[in-house]
Chains A and B, each alone.
Chain A
Amino acid sequence: MKQYKIFLAALAVVGLASCQQDVGDLGIEQKNPKETVIEGGSAVTVNIAEAIDGKTIDLPYYMSINTVGFMVPVVNVVPSENCPADAELSCVMEMAKDAAYTNAVQVALADNSAEGQTGYQFAASPSELNDAFKALFSQYVVSATPVYVRFAVYADIPTEGLATGTNVRFGGADYWYLSDRQLQVLPVAIPGLMMGTPGADGKDAANSMKLVRNEGNTSIKEYNGLVYITAPFTFEAIGSDLRLGMESEGVASAASTTPITAPSGAGLYYINLKEDGDNWAYSLTRVDAIGCIGDFNNWAGDAALTPNADFTVWTGNVDFAKEGGWKFRMNGGWDINLGGDTMSNLSFNGPNLPIEATGTYKVTLDISSLPYHCTLEAL
């Protein structure tokens, strides 16, 4: 009887003990606590690199030393404690003419960090920076010019055990670091593209009105341009050392520094300059009138425009009664005329401009900077 009791007691213990064992077999629930979400752009701080902060980015200088891959330091990016520890950062700079970043262009920056540096330094290739500047402005801008810049920072975070990784743009889709900062950029001039007229209006070569290479003339170098002349001037090639003074009337040479005087007093002149052996031949034609002519007036007579004080902007109201082509011409003849595929890029002897809707427009021709351009404002 006693053995029977012991057996039953053991049965009860085994039964209860086995229940405890089963609970342990159920494993561990997968729990992942709520993560701390990185807010906005707090993962990094971004600062303009000291090398360019408050200074002009002298691209001709950087290009001259770029034979060893020298880069233009642009920004320093320092990760904060919010930045994933294993993130590899990259940076893109957006450049624009205005604070609204209209028609902005982007430049991918390269990691230019020094050994042991805290965070990253990102830098731009001088040639890519120069190309971006030209895309924003034009190939004709050769003086130091302010540009608006802002920066996007990306993080590439490796995923353990996978060849892929997670890539994010810090701050979100529209987040820019250092928005509205301005940098001063001195672009690289294209040698041989333009000829300055230092002295003509009291300005130096870079800021003077310029003649442009006539690309249609492939046999010799030839330049044309409209220049407002108030004082004697010389010719100075933009982007090279060529300087030309008056050798004799109608002849300029590198051997002379004598300024050229406008033959008919102060005013707007059309200048043609072309290589002639060792010398250069030049001619100056005073422009007293600019008008519009085209299908709207059956290519007969000019709708006259009126100049501003320095003859660089001409305006007038023109009744484009018929659709079709039209052009600007000077002094009532065809020797000097402007046309173009678009109104933003006019050239001498260019094709007819189109008028797609009849009506009266205020026409504005701007020859103050290259390329010459015009606008039509419906009245």
Chain B
Amino acid sequence: MKNKLIIASMALLGTAGLTSCVADTEPRLDKPTEFVLNMPALGNQLYVFDADASGKSINDITFTVSQPNYGVAATPVYSVQVARSEADFAKWDEEQKLPADPDTPDAPEGDGTRAEGDYTGLPLTAMVDQTTTNAVITLDGEKFCNAVNAVYGLTMENVKDQPHPVAVRVYAEVENAPYSGIWSNPITIKVRSYIKPVPDKIYIIGACQGWDISKDAMYLEETEIGNRIYVGDYTIPAGQFMFRFYDELGSWDHFSIGSQVNDNPIDITVNGEAITELPEDGITLPCLQEVNGVNPKGSWNIPDWKGGKVHIEVNLNTNEVTFAAGQAKKIYVVGAFTGWDINSNKFALRETEEGSDVYTGTFTIAAGDFNFRFYRSLGDWETGSIGSQEPDAPLPISVTSAGTTVPAVNGKGNWQDEGWAGGDCSVSLDLNTMQVTFVKL
């Protein structure tokens, strides 16, 4: 009997031990009641967010927390919310829907825009678009400031380097365990925010846009922030090539950039001769900015402009403006007669009219060299090819002076005319119908 009791006790103990092990391998998180966001050591100072010369944010900000009291070690995801004041957090909390089950509260809104401020029309809160599982939370300056700018409505126009109080709190939640979600205490710091600059613009004001000093439809944009080199491409209708530039809109007498001080146009010529179109390599002329309070109001003019695309570049460092013929969209020809050079732009079809998606060109092709396909872009044999068929194999055709029209597909098959005796060939590629026409000239 004694042995039986011992055996029974041992069996019970073993079973209990193993049973408890099953529970231990899936530890249950306690519903947290405490989650502390520390006031940073620098929290009483002013956080300054600046940009480098190219406008890129160069600063960050770090907060530290301790893991919520889950009872066991866990890896929650931390996300940061900002507001104009700690009171706004409370308002935002009130505006959230009551959870159906108190034990499984809703996760916070991702963008913080659901609740609107009652007097500014701005969101009460905003989430920083960055999360981490590290309890040392280092936030990218741009992302943090985007949230600050959202709650304050800060823009390049109104930021004015003013410091703003920013309330901060952190939300922690273990993945797939909604009941583990908890907000930290809020803290308030002061921030001088960063706003990502946008490239500057200068506006084209002239006949081509109806001489409207308030119309911003035609503009040149800085190629890089702050470099004061502006470019733009526009189609200027026949007879409307007369314009100057303005750094700001709204006043004829301020911020103009012109060909001369006098309010008279200067005709663009080549070697003293009037022109009707622009050369592809462009014409570079001086331009004037405001001098001693005098705004140059002379325009540039091509009286008999026949119409077409124009590429314009204004360099306000050297005070030069370049007008060049605009480049039509191209489809490149790559084949035997081009030397099978995937990087050569010497042989191309040009779009007949902007937006038509019909491309034409004429090429001199030697006997035995009629073997080619097209590319939308150069540099990569595998990207953007237009050919006779998908497989990389030639499709025989016979080109006549009456014209030969065949289908085109996105593929690497060439068109090959083994009987081509040499001479000029006109090519017309219609990407609307995916057909190509070859005409022996």
Q: Does A309 contact B (CB under 8 A)?
A: no
Q: Does A335 contact B (CB under 8 A)?
A: no
**Inside 8 A of B62's CB, which chain A residues have their CB?**
159, 166
Q: Does B395 contact A (CB under 8 A)?
A: no
**Inside 8 A of B48's CB, which chain A residues have their CB?**
154, 167-169
B189 shortest CB reach to chain A, Å? 10
**Inside 8 A of B14's CB, which chain A residues have their CB?**
8, 11-12, 14-15
Contact of B21 (CB < 8 Å), options: A22, A155, A171: A22
Q: Does more than half of chain A's interface fall in helix, strand or loop, or is it mixed? A: loop
Are B20 and A15 in contact, CB atoms less than 8 angstroms apart? Answer: yes
**Inside 8 A of A241's CB, which chain B residues have their CB?**
none
A153 shortest CB reach to chain B, Å? 10
CA distance A43 to B10 in the complex (A): 67
Q: Does A35 contact B (CB under 8 A)?
A: yes
Given A37-B44, A84-B41, A167-B59, also A30-B21 (CB < 8 A): no
A167 shortest CB reach to chain B, Å? 4
**Inside 8 A of A32's CB, which chain B residues have their CB?**
38, 64-66, 135-136
Q: Does B441 contact A (CB under 8 A)?
A: no
Q: Does B428 contact A (CB under 8 A)?
A: no
What string of 1s and 0s marks CB contacts (under 8 Å) between A29-49 and chain B? 111111111111001000000
A18's nearest neighbour on chain B, judged by CB, is B21
Q: Does B152 contact A (CB under 8 A)?
A: no
B136's nearest neighbour on chain A, judged by CB, is A32
CA distance A345 to B57 in the complex (A): 42
A274 shortest CB reach to chain B, Å? 23
Contact of B16 (CB < 8 Å), options: A15, A26, A35, A157: A15
Are B49 and A167 in contact, CB atoms less than 8 angstroms apart? Answer: yes
Contact of A37 (CB < 8 Å), options: B15, B41, B74, B138: B41
A38's nearest neighbour on chain B, judged by CB, is B41
Interface contact tally, CB-CB below 8 A? 150
**Inside 8 A of A174's CB, which chain B residues have their CB?**
163
Q: Does B17 contact A (CB under 8 A)?
A: yes
Given A5-B6, A15-B13, A15-B16, also A169-B46 (CB < 8 A): yes
**Inside 8 A of A11's CB, which chain B residues have their CB?**
10-11, 14, 17-18
CA distance A197 to B116 in the complex (A): 68
Are B67 and A19 in contact, CB atoms less than 8 angstroms apart? Answer: no
A35's nearest neighbour on chain B, judged by CB, is B41
CA distance A172 to B192 in the complex (A): 10
Are B59 and A166 in contact, CB atoms less than 8 angstroms apart? Answer: yes
**Inside 8 A of B16's CB, which chain A residues have their CB?**
15
B142 shortest CB reach to chain A, Å? 9
CA distance A30 to B174 in the complex (A): 13
**Inside 8 A of A172's CB, which chain B residues have their CB?**
44-46, 163, 190
Given A19-B17, A22-B25, A172-B190, also A39-B44 (CB < 8 A): yes
What string of 1s and 0s marks CB contacts (under 8 Å) between A120-155 and chain B? 000000000000000000000000000000000011
B50's nearest neighbour on chain A, judged by CB, is A167
A41's nearest neighbour on chain B, judged by CB, is B45
Are B39 and A173 in contact, CB atoms less than 8 angstroms apart? Answer: no
B3's nearest neighbour on chain A, judged by CB, is A1
Given A159-B138, A166-B61, also A18-B41 (CB < 8 A): no
**Inside 8 A of A164's CB, which chain B residues have their CB?**
57-60, 140-141
CA distance A167 to B58 in the complex (A): 9
B48 shortest CB reach to chain A, Å? 4
CA distance A37 to B38 in the complex (A): 10
Q: Does B42 contact A (CB under 8 A)?
A: yes
CA distance A241 to B151 in the complex (A): 61
**Inside 8 A of A157's CB, which chain B residues have their CB?**
42
**Inside 8 A of A39's CB, which chain B residues have their CB?**
44
**Inside 8 A of A8's CB, which chain B residues have their CB?**
7, 10-11, 14
A40's nearest neighbour on chain B, judged by CB, is B44
Q: Does B368 contact A (CB under 8 A)?
A: no
Are A34 and B44 in contact, CB atoms less than 8 angstroms apart? Answer: no
CA distance A12 to B73 in the complex (A): 28
A32's nearest neighbour on chain B, judged by CB, is B64
**Inside 8 A of B44's CB, which chain A residues have their CB?**
37-40, 172
B316 shortest CB reach to chain A, Å? 23
A174's nearest neighbour on chain B, judged by CB, is B163
CA distance A18 to B66 in the complex (A): 29
**Inside 8 A of B41's CB, which chain A residues have their CB?**
35-38, 84
Given A22-B25, A38-B45, also A30-B138 (CB < 8 A): no
**Inside 8 A of B134's CB, which chain A residues have their CB?**
30
What string of 1s and 0s marks CB contacts (under 8 Å) between B1-34 and chain A? 0010011001101111111110011010000000
**Inside 8 A of B7's CB, which chain A residues have their CB?**
4-5, 8
Given A18-B17, A159-B60, also A34-B38 (CB < 8 A): yes
Are A18 and B18 in contact, CB atoms less than 8 angstroms apart? Answer: yes
A20's nearest neighbour on chain B, judged by CB, is B24
**Inside 8 A of A31's CB, which chain B residues have their CB?**
66-67, 135
Are B138 and A162 in contact, CB atoms less than 8 angstroms apart? Answer: yes
A172's nearest neighbour on chain B, judged by CB, is B46
List 9 A–B pairs whose Cβ atoms lie within 8 Å, in order of A's numbering.
A8-B10, A12-B17, A15-B13, A30-B135, A36-B41, A162-B60, A166-B47, A169-B48, A173-B192
Contacts A26-B27, A172-B45, A175-B46 given; 10 further ones with Cβ under 8 A? A5-B7, A5-B10, A12-B13, A16-B13, A27-B73, A30-B67, A43-B45, A163-B58, A167-B50, A169-B192
Q: Which 6 A-B pairs have the closest CB atoms?
A: A15-B17, A11-B14, A173-B163, A8-B10, A30-B135, A22-B24
